[in-house]
Structure 1
Amino acid sequence: MYDGPDISSLYWPNPAVDVFQNERTNYNSSRIAVLDETGHFQSSDRFQFDASDRGLGIKRRLTMDQDGNLRLYSLKKQSGSWVVTWQAFPGLCNVHGICGRNGICVYTPEPKCTCPPGYEMSEPTDWNNGCKPRFNFTCSKSQDVKFLALPSTDYYGFDAIYNGNASFNFCRQACLDDCSCLGFSYRESQRWCYGKSLLFNGYKDPSFPGTLHLKLPISMVASLEQIHNGSNPNCSAAGDHSAEGSLTMYDTTGKRVRWTYLYWFLSAIGAAEILIFFSGWWILFRKCNAQSIVGDGYHAIMSQFRRFSYGELKSVTQNFKGEIGRGASGSVYKGVLADERVVAVKRLGDVYPEEEVFWAEVNTIGRINHMNLVRMWGFCCEGKHKLLVYEYVENMSLDKHLFSGNIVEWRDRFRIALGMARGLAYLHHECLEWVIHCDVKPENILLDKTFEPKIADFGLAKLLQRDTVNSQFSRVRGTKGYMAPEWALNLPITTKVDVYSYGVMVLEIVRGVRLSNLVVKKGKTKEWETELMVFNREMKRRIQFGEDLGIEYLVDKRLKGQYSRKQARKLVEIGVSCAAEDRNKRPTMASVVNQLLELDDEPNLPKSDHQD
């Protein structure tokens, strides 16, 4: 719980669901929890997790840090430093109350606090007190009020649900008519409308599908710049608690004490009723849980992630028949589990010669969950047999649609570009581990039945820790045509290699052809260069001198003019900047998401949009 001086808010594991949906239980009075010497944690309310370096001989400590995040640390003997091996929130902005009332937590890419437009810090050195408005709000007439859109931003909780299936105009008017409404959150795809009576637990996340519309006086001049960049250098990153002004939770005195006594009094009344039930459950739980710990080893929280036997996967794939894909890391087969889930089973070759490397990869991948990433359901590790079990994505890979006779409509192309950016931004900025894909290409972008993209094969490259500046990969990964120049130059590999690959793909999405495969003769010397190099050079020249990009000549002719010129121009500009040879000039994926979200609601037909 976040329990401040005047507000209480549940924030972990998942505030959107109840106790039992969180795989917890309140049918106990012992509150026993044990972190054993192997790095396995389990408690009497069924919650459990494992350190990423699970094993004997390592000193560990479990700490509720000042920023409100629960973390498990392991002591590295050689350096004498403590390293995070598990934490409750991979993204620190999910910790409720971290930036105070009205404050917003943003990733830049490290988490920072900022105030929304029209607001300023209550105290310049203390985010506990959040932000205060620079205006006085009374129950004004609608003509005195305006709304400022903050894409991918939300304040969790304190919602007035005006309508579960509302139009944008209905939602806007409902907030105007409600004097207590400070703004509203609207999700176009689900038509969900939430009025905000209090701006608390604010965060900006590229993966959040909604937009916050902040109510401001019509005379207020406000900019989104502070939301994009963050404004407080004292809002420290996860794990750094030494800097003055670092993130802290609110003082938990006063009301918390009174509420605590009330909770315990009510618990005592119900204790007699649940004693018999709890005793029987606890005996059964201990017996079953002891068997599962020995059998599975690793457990992923709030998922169906589990360990499979080789015989089980051999059976569900009918002895590995029906190959649906093949790549550098192994072959993929379609299978159906006993619970009727359709899965894709990747049978790995010699990619993981050492078992501890495999375990590290699996432990990381199993905890990653995002709508634009292919979900991993489990694994198998029996001697030389190493397999990964993923969700099955039914609509094949992007290359099967984009480079074939099929016509991918412009709306789907833009959604694919945005979804890919969201997935990569999550891997680069929000995971506990810093995950670099290293092989972003159309073959690794799968499409579900609604053409929502899901990135496959992430996590199969060697992982880099956030504090490892000079780390190098032992082998070159990637596909020719999508590989960044630093691979050939033997430079340190960073997330910018994925940004480069994304840029190539975005340009291919616009043009509908493989730029990586086409080559042209250069002058009379008969030198050859890729179409991508020629295209980038020409587009950079036009952008630099402010010339017309000639969008009508760049976009896939199969669309027959049915596309948004603004969106097409933006994708070309993003693609060129992402595919820059100098990696320092490439943007981050989080900034790419922000640029695309600004045009997400643009009309797709040229008759509604005639200007570049």
Structure 2
Amino acid sequence: EAQPYRNISLGSSLSSLDNSASWISPSGEFSFGFSRIGDNLYVGVRYEKIPEKTLVWAANRDRPAPPGSTVELTNNGLLVINDANGKPFFSIGGSSGGSAITQAAMLDTGNLVLQSSPGSEFKWQSFDSPTDTILPTQTLSVDYKLYAPMSPTILSTGRDYIVMQSDGNFVSYSDISEPTYASNTDGTKGRLVFDESGKISIFQWEKNTTVEITPASRIPKPSKDFYFRGTIDNDGIFRLYNYPKGRSNSWSKSWNVIWETQDSSCEMPGICGQNGYCVGKNKGFDCLCPSGFSYADANNKVLGCNQDVPIIDCGQYNPDDYGLETIDNVNFAGGDYAVKSNIDEAGCRDWFLADCYCTLAVYSDSNCYKKRMPLRSGKVAGGSKAFVKVSLDNSSPLEGGGPSNITSNGRSNWSRFGVVKVVLFVISVTIFILIIIESIILICHRRRNVHRQEKLVGSMQPEIKLMRFSYKELEKATRNFKEKLGSGSFGTVYRGMMVFTYGQKPIAVKQLDKLMENGDKEFRTEVSVIGRTHHKNLVQLLGFCDEGSHRLLVYEYMEQGSLSSFLLGSIRPEWNTRVQIAFGIARGLMYLHEECSTQIIHCDIKPENILLDGNLIPKISDFGLAKLLRHDQTKTNTDIRGTRGYVAPEWFRKMAVTVKVDVYSYGVMLLEIICCRKTVEINMMNEPSGILVDWAYDCFVGQQLETLVEHDEDAKNDMKKVRKMVMVALWCIQEDPSLRPTMKKVTQMLEGAVDVAIPPNPSS
């Protein structure tokens, strides 16, 4: 049996091959040593007298030790993990003040400390480097955080955390920096205190007051009969646990939850990742995938689900070839690209099936919601039904679910044999009639194409082939402008479906409502210019309408919506995806500025005007429209407190507007892409980070760029690229337009073709 240690001398070591090896506190309640959890080997502090020896602090949570490792307090006073060959693998701690370390100690509080002499101050302590748990007598000072583990068996730093904020609030956040709990104790600075009685409170030293966080009625008495711990679990919920030291009539011999920041794991935003949905299971939760999806990692379901089914060829789409699989009592939060109200379930099914581009829809409270991919924050929701589109030739049951409930257009499917007999009978009876009808349709179709070709704008180049639509055609295509996608400075955008020679295709119809008076000639001229553009990163203009007072533009439809909703959604987009989006936008702007036959200045670059297709390729929208606005619409309100937004300073100084105004706007947007946040946070205006462009420069000068991507591990592992992109952005937002690079040079700097010099203060 391992012996208690009061002082651990230099040269002492523990081997992972010896299961009994540990450094134990004087009371025997805590120990330090190796713990195997799942397939991983960790070194840390644990409750020694509990049968499962619960690990409460893992020194190497992000770097599990290799088999055969040892942990050693070296003669130099460093606590290190060595691999099986004796080579240093991971450094746990040492003196930061230059004083020599002579010993270590495992204290009865669960605190592992390094000292220069017995009874002296701690030169290093585990309490100063908390992972996911705090213990009685431990405090959390301002900005100290607890990070949730990835899973119960993978303890690496997870997506969620809880922090003692400088405003006095104890707040938990999801991986996209969305608050999920707040103690509502803001107003004065404080620190979190976990006392020996099991209570958690905030001591506000400026007021010399204590505010209790955990209700006193929840704490069992006498507290000396229980072990306690406060842990943020892998679902992002912070829980206060107790464990009876002896027999108890009221508490089971296990860790019991006595208080938690959320009642249900499934209430946590994005807990099951993209496309997954959460279900309660045995006081915990499980993540499931809809039909046609599979786990990104079956061993770590919270990473979400990938879509397995191939993208539907909408040119060949026939709703009758597809059925709907129903997931009862499930909903996905947000991500609605179209909503229809006051509709019954059968109508919702038909509306969904008719849309080739929609994979999943939700019916709830007489409303039908078409969901944008990827799906987010799926969970059990009573009264809701999720419909998943499945091919009748290749349907599959729900992952982990029961029998399939597949219907076609809301009705039970016939047997395939019965369908074949009916189809053969109908074909044999009507084949002659079908041939005649097909001939008539072909003749009419050719005449219509000839007529439409005659309606091409005469002044346009023949290769453009923009189509001129009648207002009635667009009214029909949009079902009387029913599905509104959004609105902006140029007008309102509606979704529609249009039949072309190559099949039916979704379209976006922009209804312009702020044009110059008597601007017919200008409208056709600008449409002609827009029509001659063609680039991978520009939204394609398909046609227009200039009938009477109506001015409408018809664009290709973008499935994934705007960059704004993508960046600020419930799940933080991957770093590499954001990098590629930034590069694509730069290439699109370079094309508009330098490669078009007629140079185009956008004048309104912002995330709302960047759209994403099904492959997350960015496409610039609303280019070429600035000249069409009425003069009173081009004036910009300068009375905006504390921010310049996306608007370049020369707009306010009556200077000539050049392509450099787009460069400025791109720089602001590039910072938003890097940080996944808005350029201005109204609720943070009194903080240094309130205005993004100013904060980014301060972080750059102060060599604290990691602060900009604090909760983004992929970005933090790619700080060289983060630094380069921030430097490019700072060059773009220089107040002096002559100092800003061209978009061609911006593209070259981002892609590494030219070096990026140190940028000056943008406001200097």
For this structure pair, what is the TM-score category when the shorter chain's length is used for normalisation?
0.3 to 0.5
More helix by share: 1
Report the TM-score, using the length of structure 2 for normalisation. Answer: 0.36
Greater C-alpha Rg: 2
More strand by share: 2
